[in-house]
Amino acid sequence: MMPAQKIRVALLFGGKSAEHEVSLESARNVLAAIDRHKYEPVLIGIDKTGKWLLGDGREALAGGDGPRQIGVDRSRDLVTFAPESNGELSAIADLQNRGTIDVAFPILHGPLGEDGTVQGLLKLANIPFVGASVLGSAVGMDKDVMKRLLRDAGIPLGKFLTLTLGPGPRPGFDEVVALVGRPFFVKPANMGSSVGVSKVADEAGYREALDLAFSFDRKVLVEEFIEGREIECSVLGNDDPVASVVGEVKPSHDFYTYEAKYLDEHGARLDIPADLPPGVADRARSLAVQTFRVLCCEGLGRVDMFLRPSGEVLVNEINTIPGFTKISMYPKLWEASGVSYTDLIDRLIQLALERFAREKQLRTSYR
Q: What is the tens place of the pLDDT at every residue in 193-252?
A: 578 899 999 999 999 999 999 999 999 999 999 999 999 999 999 999 999 999 999 987
Neighbours of 270 (CB within 10 A): 16
Question: Edge-to-edge, what's the strand order for the sheet holding 242-251?
Answer: 268-271, 242-251, 229-237, 299-307, 313-319
Architecture of domain 227-358: 2-Layer Sandwich (3.30)
Name the pTM for this structure.
0.88
User: b/e for 330-348, b at 16 or more Cβ within 10 A?
Assistant: bbbbbbbbebebbebbbbb
C-alpha 47: how far from chain center = 18
C-alpha 70: how far from chain center = 19
> Which residues make up the CATH 3.30.1490.20 domain(s) of the chain?
159-224
> Which residues make up the CATH 3.40.50.20 domain(s) of the chain?
7-129
220, 319, 125, 57: CA torsion to nearest 10: 120
Name, of 2-6, 60-64, 149-153, the range with top average pLDDT.
149-153
Cβ atoms of 91 and 34 closer than 8 Å:
no
Burial of 65 (0-12, 13-18, 19+ CB in 10 A): exposed
Q: List, in order, residues 6 or more apart from 80 with CB less than 8 Å away.
A: 52, 89, 90, 92
Interval 52-79 mean pLDDT: 62
> Which residues make up the CATH 3.30.470.20 domain(s) of the chain?
227-358
The CATH number of 7-129 is 3.40.50.20
Cis check: omega of the bond before 128, within 30 degrees of 0: no
Give the number of C-alpha atoms closer than 13 A to the C-alpha of residue 297, restricted to the C-beta side: 35
pLDDT at 87: 78
The CATH number of 159-224 is 3.30.1490.20
Angle (deg, nearest 10), helices 329-336 and 341-360? 100
Share of the chain above pLDDT 90, in %: 68
Burial of 222 (0-12, 13-18, 19+ CB in 10 A): buried
Q: Quick check: 94 pLDDT over 60?
A: no
